[in-house]
Structure 1
Amino acid sequence: MKTRSAQFILNMAKNVKKLTLANKLAKRGDVIKPTEIISRQNRADNVRDIEDLVGVSPAEPGSSNSIFFSPIQTRKQRHLNGELLKKTNIKMEPLSPTRVPTKKTRKEDQLVTKIQVGSATVVKCKLVHDPVDSPIRIDKIKKELEPQIKQEPFIHESLAGLNNIKKELDQQVEASLYPEVESPHHLWYNHLENIRIMRNSKSAPVDTMGCHRCADSKADAKTQRFQNLVALMLSSQTKDQTTYEAMNRLKEQTLTPLKLKEMPITDLENLLHPVSFYKNKAKYLKQTVDILMEKYDSDIPDNPKELIALPGVGPKMAHICMAVAWNKVTGIGVDVHVHRLSNRLGWIPKPTKEPEQTRIALEKWLPYSLWSEVNHLFVGFGQTICTPVKPKCGECLNKDICPSAYAESKPKRKSDR
């Protein structure tokens, strides 16, 4: 049933005539019959379109206001075929903001334009040559790249020989700064520079707990000098941490020559413990206090000779005390760290066994301007990297130029034990 009904409806639809505009007009009255035919060539102004008939009542036959049909059925079709193109306003439409370049300095930059012709839209494009393909542009690029192309082999050659150039400059740097220095090792200044770099990047106990940090900053100058001397006497063969703690205990009891003189020897020994040889050092302090109060008005001597004459004071302590307490450089303070590093780096013509021998050998060739610096540098370096046992040669910047690199880390044979 559904199939037959659908077929019936289709047949009825085919038989129904489409209601055209002419049929609509015919139903409204008599059929319009033209009484006169005017050609388009003679009367172009009276040509009308079908659209003009909408809403207009039919004219009486024979009247002069009769409406005629145009051979071209619609105005739109006539415009598309080119007729009345001159009377049509051309509408220029620029590109949308999303497609227009942000910067336009010339009219030629408008590469695309939309032209509205009636209901049609014409897109006008401007053909522009790619500047990269332009011969002028190519020549310009070649001129710009020519210096870089010429320098490229030199750059690779420089990178390949950078290490050799650096070594040559390193060998000449000490000659320019200290031309008259005849050092045992020709790269001694490179050793020093590398140690400076390593010391700046890593702090050591001597930086915060060294003898120059033990004095009471609030005390008067005379008392501070005395405390500097006491700290140096306690530091012999003792770690900086232990010396610093002992000095804090003494300062709590008011560390002055008079206070130490009145303090019982047993109490002093208890305050110094666990400093190395604390009993001997307590005795030396008692004797030194008596000399200072008797000969120097509770102050310390201002020259290394008289400092060395004090009980328990050696050359190393005297020179360091002169630099710290009196701000005078009278010699190199050589302790176990400076003694060890000087021998490892080859700064000594012949290996030495005692720190005093090392001091004499260093002062013969090391520039005077470096005497006050070498002790602090070497002590901190010896505490952190170039340690007495198992030095960290892998972390050292001098590992490639140090004559003793990795020597301490090599296992000994049984016959050498």
Structure 2
Amino acid sequence: MRTSRISRDTSRILAASRTLRQTRSGANPPVHDASDSELSSVPTDAGSDGDFATPPPKRRKTVRDTPVKVKHESKEVSLTSTTSPKKEAKPKKARRVPAKKINGAGGSVKIEPPPNWEEIYALTREMRNENLAPVDTMGCESLADKQRSPRDQRFQTLVALMLSSQTKDTVTAVAMRGMQERMPGGFNLESVLAIEPAELNGFINKVGFHNLKTKYIKQTAEILRDKFASDIPDTVAGLVSLPGVGPKMAYLTLSAAWGRDEGIGVDVHVHRITNLWGWHTTQNPEQTRAALESWLPKDKWHDINNLLVGFGQTICLPVGRKCGDCKLSERGLCPSAVVGVKKKIKKESVVKVEPDGEETVKEETVVAEVNEVKAEDVDVAVGDIEDIGRASRNRSTRSKT
């Protein structure tokens, strides 16, 4: 019976240890051990072929800051009031809109002036007042000696205009001053009649076509003595009857010498510039005169010649127009404005010379603005209407090779 007691004690100890194990297993989940029986249950996450699947790595939870609320405010701005800080808007180039003929009732014809002509005229006058031109101090109207009699002043004005054809104002002024100071008997009709042609030619030999002008001045002096009582004519018809005097010269003489504005004196500057502005399309100064007189107010007939001659001498030059300095180009009022083009020009200069004679050359690039003027934009071939019977020269067209 001893054996049975030992068996009961053993059974009691095993039962107590089993109860303790179950209690611990409730608090801690079982951990798989390699020493366990191969008949242990297969985990639920095993693969289809019995292998264990690697559990995906746990991602760390990112703690985001509280989102910032941004308030967007919009303001309506008119597009017309905004300008680009990098590139200013350029005004549109003007179109050529010449004066128009409007047929009215009863066969009457009315000439409508070019648009914006008053603004163009006012801006040109403004530029003329800012830039002194040769015509302002040496123009033919101001060359007569104010110390002489009115008759002598009128004669000197006529001669000055005759000398001015195809001649710069500066050259004409020098020739006139020489005759006023050194001509025997003073500069008047009688002294011109008495002087020999060769001596007269010596006074004016710097002006254009001085030989022909010497002949015309001598002939004019004789006509004035014989037909006009030793004074210059006071009509356009009488003035154009003199040798070498055309309509432009006649109207300017009538205005400067007699104070009568009966027509517009149109020279190469007036003819060229008004065509560049698109006021008309004319072939010669006489056509330009008729076109301008059809609509330009009469109180500007005398002023327009001085205005455009000086403008053509300072800004709107026959060759190399300064469109960058012109307010008409800046405001988009001139249809013939030339756009400036920037070009890079390489320039080399010697900055250092070594004792052995070796030179260090510095190369730099200079950006220059060049105004490109096309050959067809230059009206050099247009001559005055009274260019002493000389036919206008037509520019020969260069053949491109």
**TM-score, normalising length from structure 1?**
0.56
Alignment of 1:16-55 (within 5 A): none
* Residue of 139, 160, 165 corresponding to 2:81: 160
CA distance 1:311–1:365, shift in 2 (3 Å):
same
8 Å CA contact retained: 1:391, 1:409: no
The one-letter code of the counterpart of 1:243 is T
**C-alpha distance in structure 2 between counterparts of 1:396 and 1:361, whole Å:** 25
Which of the pair is proportionally richer in helix?
Answer: 1
SS of 1:217 mapped into structure 2: coil
8 Å CA contact retained: 2:321, 2:373: no
**TM-score, normalising length from structure 2?**
0.58
Alignment of 1:221-232 (within 5 A): 221-232=150-161
**C-alpha distance in structure 1 between counterparts of 2:295 and 2:137, whole Å:** 30
8 Å CA contact retained: 1:238, 1:276: yes
**C-alpha distance in structure 2 between counterparts of 1:388 and 1:235, whole Å:** 17
**C-alpha distance in structure 2 between counterparts of 1:416 and 1:308, whole Å:** 44
Larger RCO: 1 or 2 (CA < 8 Å, sep 6+): 2
TM superposition shift of 1:411 = 4.9
Q: Where does residue 321 of structure 2 map in the other structure?
A: 391
Q: Which has the larger radius of gyration?
A: 1
TM superposition shift of 1:416 = 7.1
TM superposition shift of 1:158 = 12
TM-align CA RMSD: 3.0
Q: Where does residue 125 of structure 1 map in the other structure?
A: none
SS of 2:212 mapped into structure 1: helix
* Residue of 248, 263, 268 corresponding to 1:331: 263
CA distance 1:368–1:161, shift in 2 (3 Å):
farther
- Determine whether 1:365 maps to 2:295: yes
Q: Where does residue 191 of structure 1 map in the other structure?
A: 120
User: Unaligned regions of 5+ residues in structure 1, if any?
Assistant: 1-152, 168-179
SS of 1:398 mapped into structure 2: helix
Number of aligned residue pairs: give it. 249
Q: Where does residue 402 of structure 1 map in the other structure?
A: 334
**Structure 1 stretches (4+) deviating beyond 2 angstroms?**
156-164, 407-417
Deviation larger for 187-196 or 279-288: 187-196
- Determine whether 1:251 maps to 2:180: yes
TM superposition shift of 1:361 = 1.5
Deviation larger for 352-361 or 370-379: 352-361
Alignment of 1:196-207 (within 5 A): 196-207=125-136
8 Å CA contact retained: 1:181, 1:367: no
CA distance 1:281–1:181, shift in 2 (3 Å):
same
* Identity over aligned pairs, percent: 46
Superimposed CA distance per residue, residues 192-221 of structure 1 (whole angstroms, 9 cap, x where no aligned partner): 011010000111000000011110000010
The one-letter code of the counterpart of 1:314 is G
User: Unaligned regions of 5+ residues in structure 2, if any?
Assistant: 1-74, 93-109, 340-370, 377-397
Superimposed CA distance per residue, residues 241-260 of structure 1 (whole angstroms, 9 cap, x where no aligned partner): 00000001111211111101
CA distance 1:231–1:412, shift in 2 (3 Å):
closer
TM superposition shift of 1:297 = 2.0
